[in-house]
A and B are shown apart, each in its own frame.
Chain A
Amino acid sequence: MTYYNTRPTRKKTMPPEDPPPVMRGLGDLIERITEKTGIKAVVEKVAEKTGKDCGCGERRDKLNKAMPFGDKS
């Protein structure tokens, strides 16, 4: 353990170990971005509190269908 003093000490967050999941389409890309920003978690929290679905899942699936990235396997 190193103390912070007048010599700058770096604290950096590390990248996640797990590989990113395969993206099925644009909807998943948008969902991934919102996950990174933290928006997704809060949207779901709000939906839980209000009892009103934000429609993210439906919107994601719709976008995936409209703009699939294609099967690369």
Chain B
Amino acid sequence: MTLTRTCCCGKCYFGARSTDADATACLHNKTEVLELRIPRPSYAYGVGVISYSDCDCAGEYQTRTQCDASDTIEVDYDHFHPEDRTYTWFYEKPSDGNIWPPCTSPCCGYDDASPGFNDAECCNSGLQCSTTYRQYTGLAASRLQQQIIEDGSVPHLGNDSDAEDCEYGDAYWFLQDVANHDTAHRYRHWIVVSGAVTETSTQNLEQTMLCVVHKEKWWERGYNSLNQSDNPSASDSDDAASNCRTPKYWVFACSGVPLYSWEIKQLSSLTTQQQDDVIIAIHNGDPIPENLADILEQDGILVAKDHERVDGKIIEKTLRYLNNDAGGADTTETAYFYARPGGWTYVCPGFSSSTAVDLAADFPQIPRRYDVACDYGSDNNCFTASPLPGNDCECAFTGGPGGDCDPCAGLIGCAPGVLSACGGTSDIYCMEDVIVGNCKGVWVQFSHYYKNLATDSNEYECGVSNDGYICRVMPGGTCEFGSLPDEIGHEIPTEVSESVRNGNTANGALCCGGEGTYERGTAQCPALTPDAADCDDPTNWGPNV
């Protein structure tokens, strides 16, 4: 894919750098819409075994759930902003826990093996840490953090022959030259004390980072094809669509730009009161007033654009510091940095218990991928590309003497509803969605495994694999399917991966080619499992929406 390198107004860079052809720039306006499609083909899943031995129905039966094809789920999303702007501003603070990479990982990093340092000790007591990189507190980073920031690929721990390296990609490259910035360069810093903005002692660069700011474009769910026949328990058609099925909002984020307290105080054109308003808003976790963020953008402080550099760095910062190598001289220089990658995310219909109030008051600083009503485990989100709800599902069976001996009696005609349980070493179903996106849209792949209870060998099979997609459609246009991401990483659940490695499940029984997982303690680590049956190309791809 080749995207333009021009840097005219309206471009939204969403990668770490401009030289990454798949993550450079989008052009947004208020007229484009999103179209979400999730086909619902016929499918069957599950194998239950029932044995009768003391009646006329004596025999062994195998049951399963079988569903006819249903109409494709189609949801249209229209531009959203309470005041009809194209973009808004969203930020995350280092203290939120997502800005710096994790200090330790049970899957990868540096433990007691050569050369002898231990990330856990580093995080706890400062021993055996990175000698060059620091956390946002100014304390030393771990070796794992250093490796993630510098490279993104980290070797696995120990000698587990079936573990793989962890891949963080370019997600944390933006901390290069920040978390290891020259400590002789001391930056003035402002904090909030008792509700007032107060200057404190000079700090390292990383300690003055208030947050990373992303410019975001939002779309709101409009038309949806689901109705109460798809979900009889819903009170209206919107509930039918929103019942842990489709998000209320989709969000596309441009590349993130770090914002430092000294930039606001020393470099911006904001008034003193406006400067304090921004710093206090961030301190409190409130939205930054959009007009003030706009000024910071106009001042060149919140800008990511193509500088046509060989290294692709898209953030240009004016650094102002006291140089202790030059007697504390007040110094100004220009430096370039990678950006924090943006991309897609979504907001669920029930992100809080008082959605309307919180949306008006807190937009856009509201939880992502979280719903108070949808229990999808720790992620608790509201979206899946599974072909559910499936209509006209029924219990089907084979075996037994037949006739009136029906192990499905009482279940015929019952729809399976939305799957809500999954995973674990003792459960019989495992499922997951994997999502990738680019400037043109999103591809989400759902896969669902079940244990074959008709065998005694922990054999798993692919029950359902389904592909959903979102296209960004311009007025009067069609979906450019050829521009959607064309590769997706499919990860196999731990128990399924183990089953393959133990020889109980054949590769061809798996949903898609991909990596397995290896259980280390409670963590799901990447593992070496041979590629499975290839289903990497969506069957419902293009050509038109």
A-B interaction? yes
Q: Interface of A with B (CB < 8 Å)?
A: 1-16, 20, 26, 30, 33-39, 41-43, 45-46, 49, 54-56, 59, 66-67
Q: Which of B23, B233, B413, B431 contacts A45 (CB 8 A)?
A: B233
A7, A16, A38: the one contacting B419 at CB < 8 Å is: A38
Expressed in whole angstroms, the Cα–Cα distance for A66 and B52 within the complex equals: 9
CB distance from B487 to the nearest CB of A (A): 8
The one of B48, B409, B437, B487 in contact with A59, judged by C-beta atoms closer than 8 angstroms, is: B409
Q: Given known contacts A1-B98, A14-B378, is B428 in contact with A36 (CB within 8 Å)?
A: yes
Chain A residue numbers with a CB within 8 Å of B431 are 13
Nearest B residue to A58 by beta-carbon distance?
B410
Whole-angstrom distance between the Cβ of B494 and the nearest chain A Cβ: 10
- Asked if A34 contacts B411 (CB within 8 A), the reply is yes
Beyond the given pairs A11-B432, A42-B233, 20 more chain A to chain B contacts, judged by CB atoms under 8 angstroms and listed by A's residue number, are: A3-B343, A5-B23, A6-B15, A7-B170, A8-B435, A8-B489, A10-B434, A12-B377, A15-B423, A15-B424, A16-B424, A16-B427, A30-B407, A33-B46, A36-B427, A38-B416, A41-B417, A42-B416, A42-B417, A43-B410
Q: Is there an interface contact between A4 and B436, defined as CB atoms closer than 8 Å?
A: yes
A-B contact pairs, 5 of them (CB 8 A): A3-B253, A4-B442, A12-B493, A39-B65, A56-B411
- Given the complex of chains A and B, what is the CA–CA distance between A15 and B343 in angstroms? 28
Contact among A5, A8, A42, A45 with B344 in the assembled complex (CB-CB below 8 Å): A5
Chain B residues with Cβ below 8 Å from A39 are 65, 395, 411, 414-417
Shortest Cβ distance from residue B396 to the other chain A in the assembled complex, whole angstroms: 12
CB–CB B345/A14 < 8 A: no
Judging by beta carbons under 8 Å apart, are A42 and B415 in contact?
yes
B539 at the interface (CB under 8 A from A): no
- Report yes or no: A42 in contact with B414, Cβ–Cβ below 8 A: yes
- Which residues of chain B (423-478) have a CB below 8 Å from chain A? 423-429, 431-438, 442
CB of B50 within 8 A of CB of A26, answer: yes
Bound complex: CA A33 to CA B14 (Å): 44
Q: List, in ascending order, chain A residues with CB within 8 A of B291's CB.
A: none
Does B488 count as interface, using CB distance less than 8 angstroms? yes
In the complex, per-residue mask of B512-526: 1 if CB is within 8 Å of any chain A CB, else 0: 000000000000100
Count of residues in B whose CB is under 8 Å from the partner chain: 75
Contact with B379, one of A5, A11, A59 (Cβ below 8 angstroms): A11
Q: Which residues of A contact B438 (CB under 8 A)?
A: 5-6
Question: How far, in Å, is A69 (CB) from chain B's closest CB?
Answer: 12
Q: A3–B341 contact, CB under 8 A?
A: yes
User: A1 touching B436 by the CB < 8 A rule?
Assistant: no
| Number of residue pairs spanning A and B whose beta carbons lie under 8 angstroms apart | 161
B370 nearest in chain A by CB position: A1
Q: Provided the pairs A13-B431, A33-B46 are in contact, do residues A5 and B378 lie with their beta carbons within 8 angstroms?
A: no
Nearest chain A CB to B253 CB, angstrom units: 5
B residues less than 8 Å from A34 (CB atoms): 411
Asked if B2 is at the interface (CB within 8 A of a chain A CB), the reply is no
Chain B interface residues toward A at CB < 8 A: 14-15, 22-23, 45-46, 48, 50-55, 63, 65, 92, 96, 98, 169-171, 214, 232-233, 253, 341-345, 368-369, 376-379, 381, 395, 407, 409-411, 413-429, 431-438, 442, 485, 487-489, 491, 493, 524
CA distance A5 to B485 in the complex (A): 9
Please, which residues of chain A bring their CB within 8 A of the CB of B425?
15
Q: What is the predominant secondary structure among interface residues of chain B facing chain A?
A: loop
Tell me which residues across on chain B come within 8 A of A10, comparing CB atoms: 432, 434, 489, 491
- Find chain B residues with CB under 8 A from A11 CB: 369, 379, 381, 432-435
User: Chain A residues with Cβ under 8 A from B15's Cβ?
Assistant: 5-6
Distance, CA A9 to CA B488, complexed state (A): 9
The 4 A-B pairs of least Cβ separation, nearest first, read A15-B424, A5-B343, A14-B377, A8-B489
Given A1-B345, A3-B343, A3-B345, A15 and B422 touching (CB < 8 A)? yes
Q: Shortest Cβ distance from B119 into chain A, in angstroms?
A: 21
A21 to B417, CA, bound (A): 22
When the two chains form their complex, are residues B54 and A30 in contact, meaning their CB atoms are under 8 A apart? no
Compute how far the CA of A38 lies from the CA of B420 in the bound complex, rounded to whole angstroms: 7
CB-based contact B23/A8 at 8 Å = no
- Contacting residues, chain A, for B377 (C-beta < 8 A): 12-15
Q: Are A3 and B428 in contact (CB under 8 A)?
A: no
Q: Which A residues lie within 8 Å of B487 (CB)?
A: 8
Q: Nearest Cβ in chain A — how far from B446, in angstroms?
A: 10
Chain B nearest CB from A70 CB (Å) reads 15
> In the docked arrangement, what's the CA distance between A15 and B428, Å?
11
Known: A7-B436, A39-B416. A1 touches B92 (CB 8 A): yes
- Asked if A43 contacts B414 (CB within 8 A), the reply is yes
In the complex, what distance in Å separates the CA atom of A22 from the CA atom of B369? 34
Q: With A3-B253, A6-B437 in contact, do A12 and B414 touch (Cβ < 8 Å)?
A: no
Chain B hits for A49, CB < 8 A: 232
Q: Does the CB pair B232–A45 fall under 8 Å?
A: yes
- Give complex CA distance A6, B368 in Å: 19
